[in-house]
Structure 1
Amino acid sequence: MKTQGFQAGRRLIDLANAVRTHPDLPRDVAVPLLASHGESPQDLTEAALSDADLRKLRDAALKMTGILTETDTDRAAALLNETLADHAAAPRLSRHDGHPWHLHVDRHDAGWADWFLASSALALAQILTEHGRATWGECAAPGCRNLYLGTGPGSPRRYCSTTCASRARVAEHRRRKQP
């Protein structure tokens, strides 16, 4: 079973990659993505998630991208602490909308952006403390800018997918074989 931190981390990665692909984060991209991560249909209506909310959510994803591309674990931890200090509240247990008990650190009156920043920073903080290092980053494959979330022990991950890893290994092999 995946931890709550990993689930919120996946949401962060997916939203940050969506913003990289669609810098204006249109509703037809944001709503299905948020729904795929468990947000309820009533929370995703235009009345509940306004265009202004979408802009703030996009900006929040861009802010988190700065942490996701930070390669130094100590610096990533400092950025996470800053984000938690600016956007989080005292932790509380919550159970709603059919979800099991889980930890919330957003303020009760938080908008979409503050909720996203607080929950994403908590997720990355949980992952960093579990693994002792930042297990996330930007794909090292030439031409790929996708962000990834490493989930296990072993060598640090460098690629967003096995496709990018294979492509990079084949390109390196061919480069070495050239006279």
Structure 2
Amino acid sequence: MEIQSPDRLVRLAVDLVNTRTLDPEQLVSPGSLRAFLLEHGEPEPVEPDEDDLVAVRAVRERLRPVFHADGRVAAGVLNGLLAEYAVKPYLSDHDGAPWHLHVADPDASWGEWLAATTALGLATFAAGHGFEALGVCAAADCERVFANPAEHRPRRFCTPRCATRTRVTAHRARNP
């Protein structure tokens, strides 16, 4: 359970929230949680259990409002997660890994680790880009969230696909 880069932390938070949208639930078992963690760079051994699955889903639901809320509310959510789960940051090179930063207790569960790590990532991102760089897709049939670090490029959609689908729908509505 390590932190590799600020971009990785934001991607981890976005992808975690996006495991439950209008699409079917993606975290359906400890195995699917294991796959999620491995896809996001966690080194073996990754062996979550049912309790981890429940805890990670709870963290996901606590993170979701950060993408929907104004800055004060979002900051309150992140500050609450950091106060509850983060520990004093420390450097580690355990198991032969390169030096990296830890912000969760060495014995943290997957849920506790994700809470501390994603809260730190989103807080760092918001401090650098503002909370307006975090958003929810504007497509009527999508609930995916995104983080947009680009300056001077307001973003309303999670992907170009959602943007195109929305424009085509609006065009067809205007030109029957």
Shorter chain as normaliser: what TM range? Answer: 0.7 to 0.9
| 1:30-179 mapped onto 2 (5 Å cutoff) | 30-42=33-45, 44-45=46-47, 49-70=48-69, 72-96=70-94, 100-177=98-175
Correspondence for 1:27 among 22, 27, 30: 30
Deviations 1:86-127 (A, max 9, x none): 111112223345654333211223211111011001000111
In the alignment, structure 1 segments of 5+ residues that lack a partner are none
Q: For residues 164 and 125 of structure 1, what CA distance do their matches in structure 2 show?
A: 27
Q: For residues 115 and 104 of structure 2, what CA distance do their matches in structure 1 show?
A: 8
Query: How big is the shift at 1:76?
Result: 1.2
Q: 8 Å contact 1:106–1:115 — kept in the other structure?
A: yes
Q: For residues 160 and 93 of structure 2, what CA distance do their matches in structure 1 show?
A: 36
Which residue in 2 is equivalent to 1:9?
Answer: 10
Percent same amino acid at aligned positions? 35
Q: For residues 82 and 134 of structure 1, what CA distance do their matches in structure 2 show?
A: 20
Query: How big is the shift at 1:164?
Result: 0.3
Q: 8 Å contact 2:13–2:122 — kept in the other structure?
A: no
SS at match of 1:165: helix
Q: 8 Å contact 2:104–2:113 — kept in the other structure?
A: yes
In the alignment, structure 2 segments of 5+ residues that lack a partner are none
How many residues end up aligned between the 2 structures?
A: 171
Q: For residues 84 and 128 of structure 2, what CA distance do their matches in structure 1 show?
A: 23
Deviations 1:35-74 (A, max 9, x none): 01111231x23xxx1111111111111111122222x122
- The structure with higher relative contact order (CA 8 Å, sep 6+) is 2
Moved >6 Å (runs of 4+): none
